[in-house]
Amino acid sequence: MCPRAHSAQDPPLLPSQLSLDPSGPEWDCPLGSKDLEEEGPWGGGSGLPPTGCFPGSWRQDVGLDCKGSPEGAEARAWTVYYYSLLQSCLQQAGLPETQDRSQVPRTGCPGAEVTLCVLGSPSTFLPVLLEGGVQSPGECVLKFPPRFYRKAPGRPGEAALLVSKAVSFHPGGLTFLDEFVPPRRATYFLAGLGLGPGRGREAAELARDLTCPTGASAELARLLEDRLLTRQLLAQQGGVAVPATLAFTYKPLGLLRGGDASPGLRLVELSGKEGQETLVKEEVETFLRSEALGDVLQVAVKLSGWRWRGRQAFRLYPREELGAVVDTVLALLEKLEEEESVLVEAVYPPVWLPCSDGPSLGPGLAVRICAVVCRTQGDRPLLSKVACGVGRGDRPVRHHNSLPRTLEAALGAVLALEAGLSAEQRGGRRAHTDFLGVDFALTTAGGALTPVALELNGGLCLEACGALEGLWAAPRLGPAADDAAAAPLVETMLRRSARCLMEGKHLLVVGAGGVSKKFVWEAARDYGLQLHLVESDPNHFASQLVQTFIHFDTTEHQRDEENARLLAELVRARGLKLDGCFSYWDDCLVLTALLCQELGLPCCPPAAMRLAKHKSRTQLHLLCHHGPPWPAPSLHAVPCCPLESEADVERAVHQVPLPGVMKLEFGAGAVGTRLVKDAPQCHEHFSRITRDLQGEADHPGIGLGWGNAMLLMEFVEGTEHDVDLVLFGGRLLAAFVSDNGPTRLPGFTETAACMPTGLAPEQEAQMVQAAFRCCLGCGLLDGVFNVELKLTGAGPRLIEINPRMGGFYLRDWILELYGVDLLLAAAMVACGLRPALPTHPRARGHLVGVMCLVSQHLQALSSTASRETLQALHDRGLLRLNLLEEALVPGEYEEPYCSVACAGPSPAEARLRLLGLCQGLGIDGPNYPVAHFLSHFK
């Protein structure tokens, strides 16, 4: 049935309270109890759970006991209850039941991999657990009773959380009941603390002061589940509409400020709970007559505070019944304890949905919005999912599918609040709120639909979104996984777990790099990494930013094997206890692999590094790699010929189809790369490079320490792309594809780029697989690699493999768009740890950028687009600046000076912003047509 449309003469019905609280003329539960601390499972005194409430069939003879953690009859009954609830949820999602393999304990090094631990109701956290099982590189586990956890001494004032038994979640929706010997150390802990303080007492104690990150704490829940405080936060900081509310507070939280918090939200601080009749009557009378209530016909009177969350105690009154409202407020004041309040709030009429089938005599339909907002990279809020509920207007409602623009502001206001709290107030220095549920009522005001924020909650909205997703069988097993409500939360869990695993690790970095790598030292400090540096320049700025500085000449690559042995001796002599060793600097990659071999640290084999570093050897090796499996890397390799003498050039022009590309065998940044159309151009370019670029001093940092040998390779037509890969044990963990604009022929210096790629999904998959197979073909099984390819009419073709993380802007862009830090991933692989990365990272927008060259932009870079101007625009969020060189020094063989980029919700909008900015700064010009460079991204 559809609700009938209202005419102007129809008297509006008095609607129910649009919240999770059921309406009715009587109290839903007694208000005199002081024993709410004993409510809920595992809280003591909760009684036995209901029985026989889960339809379905599954094994009952499973090992739910835990050695060393005896349970009483009541606690065991709750364990069985929640295990049955999990099986029921899995069954309804079309997933197999949990397999009991606890009789054969799982062994392994505790704390050597990601372990995401969730303690709470399966019906609430099943979306998180399933998503975590797909994405987690280690384990995502569900614990029913807190007794299956224990705390162990950790850092001063903190404790490590160990899990001895759990249900572990794996890809494909598979679940196993596992026992861990020794206990597994949690790298992230998320507890469902319940609707009241008693329900999660033991969980709250477990979450306090842990060495691992926690996604919730009792201290934060006490704040965020206080209606009065959260409404003030939403109204003042988030700009979110909240119900018109009159609050009488008794000894309020220090975070609450007396007086008018915002229009329609009035706080009255009481000096006592008795003798307040006159004040209460005056305030209530003023509120009921105020314009803030608008056309509201009813008000609700209820208690607010941690003790009353989930107690569903309130009464509804017509707006004109002043005496009844005052009497109820006075009665409730006697129930108050410190930091609690009595609320008188507006009850908004529900939205009337149009009906095309004619008038209906039934009640109207009310709408409720439920949204999940997650903390993402950089402590920014992200709207993850919106669900809805549509119900009878005379009964409680649930959720509705609508998208208010200010939903992210809800978590934004919470993040701002948490930033000002001490570690003690948060329940530990690692405690944060990683997700929120936001409940809205959809009402009408002034003829327009208006969402009104009712409250924040922990798991209710997440559970509702999971139920919505569950309407399609096991959605996380297909493409719908990318849109799962829990996906951003799991990404945050993985990111914080990775930081937990890496904090305090000692890594040796070989080669500091230039100004473009300054982010390394800032990130290391943020992650708590202990870096030790080997660098040729004794005055390098990074020498003051590391734990240990080893001055060593790494530029003589003919002596790499000898130097690796010498460096290993220096490391041992200094007593360095290293967890890993890595490099992101081209010149030092082979030396690093040799050094890792000497020290017994994880790394790719030196032979694989040599092969990838030597560009012509890479192509020739892959051309011979015909498989199996298929498609083989030979399909992506390009014919080429190494050049060390004029005779080699003469031979090459007869072997390699022209036009071709000539470049340095060990070069970087496209320096010395040129399109050659015939034999004379090949000889001319070879002679020029041989004369101008003979050694490291001629152009530092581009690989001339390896020599100035060249190669000639076939020129292939197509669009150019970068694929940045993370591999571990020969498995592809993540891939990020970006598009490059046309190069300025006859040189190949990069001009423009766009991320994420604009390729069709099938083409993107082809590029990723081509890059992956080429790396495997060269023996690159572990690390972060940058692969340059062209997409031709015949498929992807390899330009070159850079056996280190992508340079220029790539690390910064991937971190901004996907929340994945390639530097941290490389450090984890160097320590022999599988990087904690989301399986299907979702881009948070689009970035389009252009390169600035000193030869083309010297005047602009010295005036309108000076470094100071660009940095100021970056700081204001108007562009993204990546400085690649320190000085404005023009030269024939140049690298880009900087990259400037603009963000947008679509490639078109980002492109337009960037074009306008380049025109205003003087970067665009006749000799550097930015519009042309960006035309590839349409």
* For range 5-10, the mean pLDDT: 32
Both structure tokens of 794: 């015949």
Q: What is the CATH number of the domain that holds 880?
A: 3.30.1370
Most confident region among 74-78, 245-249, 579-583 by mean pLDDT: 579-583
Report the 10 Å Cβ neighbour count for 38: 16
Q: Is residue 161 part of a domain?
A: yes
Give the DSSP letter of residue 584.
Answer: -
Confidence of residue 557 (pLDDT cuts 50, 70, 90): confident
Cα distance between residue 464 and residue 633, in whole Å: 46
Q: Are residues 324 and 251 in the same domain?
A: yes
Say if residue 195's pLDDT is above 60.
Answer: no
Both structure tokens of 368: 């409720």
> What is the per-residue pLDDT for 367?
65
* DSSP letters spanning 393-437: TTS---------TTHHHHHHHHHHHHHTS-HHHHTSTTB---EEE
Q: Is residue 644 part of a domain?
A: no
> What is the per-residue pLDDT for 33?
31
Report helix, strand and coil shares of the chain as percent, to nearest 5.
35, 25, 40
For the purposes of burial, counting CB atoms within 10 Å of the CB of 835, is it exposed (0-12), middle (13-18) or buried (19 or more)? buried
Say if residue 506's pLDDT is above 50.
Answer: yes
Q: Are residues 375 and 422 in the same domain?
A: yes
For the chain, give the mean pLDDT.
83
Domain boundary among 583, 602, 621: 602
Report the 10 Å Cβ neighbour count for 765: 13
Q: Is residue 920 part of a domain?
A: yes
What Rg value do the Cα atoms of the chain yield, rounded?
Answer: 32
Say if residue 29's pLDDT is above 50.
Answer: no
Q: Are residues 305 and 373 in the same domain?
A: no
Confidence of residue 409 (pLDDT cuts 50, 70, 90): low
Give the range among 341-345, 614-618, 625-629, 811-815 with minimum mean pLDDT: 625-629
> Do residues 679 and 686 touch, judged by C-beta distance below 8 A?
no
383 compared with 649, residue with greater pLDDT: 649
Domain boundary among 538, 572, 602: 602
Domain span holding position 319: 244-347
Helices (DSSP H) in 155-254: which residue ranges? 201-207, 218-224, 227-233
Pick from 284, 263, 267, 467: which is nearest to 370 by CA?
Answer: 467
> Do residues 509 and 451 touch, judged by C-beta distance below 8 A?
no
Give the DSSP letter of residue 238.
Answer: I
> What is the per-residue pLDDT for 466?
74
> Do residues 735 and 724 touch, judged by C-beta distance below 8 A?
yes
Confidence of residue 7 (pLDDT cuts 50, 70, 90): very low
Amino acid identity of residue 673, one-letter, is: T
> What is the per-residue pLDDT for 27?
41
Handedness of CA 547, 550, 551, 553 (dihedral sign): negative
Q: Are residues 170 and 79 in the same domain?
A: yes
Q: Are residues 273 and 302 in the same domain?
A: yes
123 compared with 614, residue with greater pLDDT: 614
Kindly report, residue by residue over 252-296, the tens digit of the pLDDT: 877 775 545 567 888 888 887 778 899 999 999 999 999 888 888
Say if residue 851's pLDDT is above 50.
Answer: yes
Cα distance between residue 829 and residue 811, in whole Å: 16
Q: Are residues 201 and 84 in the same domain?
A: yes
> What is the per-residue pLDDT for 378?
82
> What is the per-residue pLDDT for 449?
65
Domain tally for the chain?
5
Q: Is residue 416 part of a domain?
A: yes
> What is the per-residue pLDDT for 124?
82
> What is the per-residue pLDDT for 261?
54
> What is the per-residue pLDDT for 146?
74
Domain boundary among 581, 602, 623: 602
Most confident region among 34-48, 201-215, 620-634, 797-811 by mean pLDDT: 797-811
Give the range among 30-34, 768-772, 851-855, 890-894 with minimum mean pLDDT: 30-34
Give the DSSP letter of residue 476.
Answer: G
Kindly report, residue by residue over 718-768, the tens digit of the pLDDT: 999 999 999 999 999 999 999 999 988 888 889 999 999 999 999 999 999
Confidence of residue 662 (pLDDT cuts 50, 70, 90): very high
Residue bearing tokens 């601080």:
269
> What is the per-residue pLDDT for 21?
34
Q: Are residues 412 and 507 in the same domain?
A: no
Q: Is residue 325 part of a domain?
A: yes
Kindly report, residue by residue over 33-60, the tens digit of the pLDDT: 323 333 333 333 456 777 777 878 888 8
Say if residue 12's pLDDT is above 80.
Answer: no
> What is the per-residue pLDDT for 833?
94
Say if residue 173's pLDDT is above 90.
Answer: no
pTM: 0.84
Percent of the chain with pLDDT over 70: 84
Angle at 279 between CA 275 and CA 281, to 5 degrees: 105
Confidence of residue 25 (pLDDT cuts 50, 70, 90): very low
Say if residue 577's pLDDT is above 90.
Answer: yes
> Do residues 393 and 2 touch, judged by C-beta distance below 8 A?
no
> Do residues 493 and 215 touch, judged by C-beta distance below 8 A?
yes
Q: Is residue 153 part of a domain?
A: yes
Q: Is residue 45 part of a domain?
A: no
Cis ω before 659 (30° cut-off from 0) = yes
Non-local (6+) Cβ contacts of 562 within 8 A are none
* For range 25-37, the mean pLDDT: 35
Kindly report, residue by residue over 853-865, the tens digit of the pLDDT: 999 999 999 999 9
Confidence of residue 213 (pLDDT cuts 50, 70, 90): very high
> What is the per-residue pLDDT for 38?
32
Q: Are residues 205 and 97 in the same domain?
A: yes
Most confident region among 33-37, 111-115, 497-501, 742-746 by mean pLDDT: 497-501
Q: Are residues 525 and 551 in the same domain?
A: yes
Q: Are residues 440 and 561 in the same domain?
A: no
Pick from 209, 111, 202, 215: which is nearest to 156 by CA?
Answer: 209
Non-local (6+) Cβ contacts of 109 within 8 A are none
Confidence of residue 487 (pLDDT cuts 50, 70, 90): confident
Amino acid identity of residue 130, one-letter, is: L
Q: Is residue 721 part of a domain?
A: no
Kindly report, residue by residue over 319-361, the tens digit of the pLDDT: 999 999 999 999 998 888 888 889 999 887 766 555 445 555 4
Cα distance between residue 221 and residue 194, in whole Å: 9
Give the DSSP letter of residue 518.
Answer: T
Q: Are residues 297 and 402 in the same domain?
A: no
Q: Are residues 189 and 87 in the same domain?
A: yes
> What is the per-residue pLDDT for 421?
84
Kindly report, residue by residue over 125-142, the tens digit of the pLDDT: 888 888 888 887 777 888
* For range 379-391, the mean pLDDT: 75
* For range 379-387, the mean pLDDT: 80
Handedness of CA 767, 773, 774, 780 (dihedral sign): positive
Confidence of residue 836 (pLDDT cuts 50, 70, 90): confident
